Amino acid sequence: MTPLAVAAASLLVMLGLIFAGMHVAVVLAVVSFAGVWLIRGDVGVAASLLAAAAQDAVASHIFGVVPLFVLTGFLVARADVGKDAFEVANQLLRRIRGGLGIATVASNAVFAAITGISIASAAVFTRIAVPEMQRFGYNPRFAVGVVAGSSVLGMLIPPSLLMILYGFLANQSVGDLFTAGILPGLVLALAYAAGIVVMATCWPRSVYASGQAKAVAGETLLPLTTLVAKMLPSVLLIAAILGGLYAGFFTATEAGATGAAMALAIALLRRKLDWKSLWGVLTETGHVTVAVSFLIICATIYTRMLAMSGMPQFLVEWMTQLGLGPTGFLLIYVSVVIALGMIIDSSSILLIVLPLMVPIAEQLGMNLIWFGVVTVVAVEIGLLTPPFGLSVFVIKSTLDDQRITLVDIFRGAAPFTLMMFLVLLLLIFVPQLSLILLRPPGG
């Protein structure tokens, strides 16, 4: 077999094994090892590449950003920061049409700006927001749909584990990616809020079970001092992490360390953490970090195998000959990513497509930071689309109400999937939304 044939066969075998249920990192390692063996005809070369790629993948000090932000996310969830953000948003927005839906979006945006994990957002707000919305007469399908839709903010508003993974795979600054995700994340949150108001005004039964919100006896407003006290930890964390990054006070890794230290202090001050729960948080952080690290190591091996085969160069030349131009390539690329999102998870998509597509984007003169933001939004649409829809499955497994089915959650999330797709098109045709906050070189 020619090297190009080996690379093409490896893609087909990889997708088949992933669909069969094998862990994506194991698939990447096995397929890459076999690919190098077939290309070079020497098992020793394949073994050496495996060892060298594993060492190179984790040698950089920036690799520390993964466990630090994961630890921050688990500590923040433990300290009930998400719950407090929802209570404050609930008090401020309840009187607006669809106010509790907007409150869910707003509090999810705050939670995302601290944790960066969509699945954590989906689990936390399913427990907090769905029962509250049902209590006020909201349509159950809308309640779970708005939680599913707003949970994707966790992978767009920095810090974001997907952006960290993209940074490693595309060799781009994680700090720049975080900064570039701020404005698109806010635009998506505002689009959701506007969409909820339109739905509540024009199609009230899509939001409320009876066509309007119901009053609940005994509801009292929290005093201003209580609201401030509940929001203060979130404000301090966001100001420290995002403010420090944008102002250039520290790197992404240092921002992760700052966030973890502050989250630990908040959890201890609120007496939400004892030795047993701290050990649980550290253990969970270790599990997630090892999983992400293993993915990055195996993706590095896969990238080197593809480079050895000449597949990226072949694709660059082929796309150039087609004469599609940057916009045509990007629309095809986004369509492929969204289609893949219907059947496999977000990390797997990045690991499979980026080693092939980043060289083409670079050859076409695209800004790879903007390309990363577009990629993350396209990938995140897959969290809401059937049949895979990981956020939907997380919500279903977290729900206590068995009357709400998977189909209900997918239908409830459909309007938010459409809004997200429209924002994706906006980001594609207005790149400055992603790049405007980045400092110019030497600035």
- pTM comes to 0.79
- Token pair in block for residue 90: 């609930």
Task: Return the pLDDT at 260.
Answer: 86
Query: What is the DSSP code string of 293-351?
Result: HHHHHHHHHHHHHHHHHTHHHHHHHHHHHHT-HHHHHHHHHHHHHHHHHTTS-HHHHHH
Task: Return the pLDDT at 441.
Answer: 46
Taking residue 73's Cβ as centre, other Cβ atoms within 10 Å add up to: 28
Task: Return the pLDDT at 117.
Answer: 67
The owner of tokens 């404050």 is 88
SS3 (DSSP) at 126: helix
pLDDT in tens, the chain (443 residues): 788 888 888 888 887 887 777 777 788 888 888 888 888 888 888 888 777 777 776 666 556 777 887 888 788 878 877 778 878 887 887 778 888 889 889 888 887 777 666 766 777 788 888 888 888 888 999 999 998 888 888 788 877 888 888 988 888 888 889 889 989 999 999 999 999 999 988 988 888 887 776 655 445 667 878 888 888 888 888 888 777 877 778 777 788 888 889 889 988 988 888 888 889 889 988 887 787 777 777 777 787 787 788 877 777 777 667 777 788 889 888 988 888 877 677 777 888 888 888 988 988 889 999 999 999 999 888 778 877 677 787 788 778 777 888 888 889 999 999 999 999 999 999 999 999 988 654 44
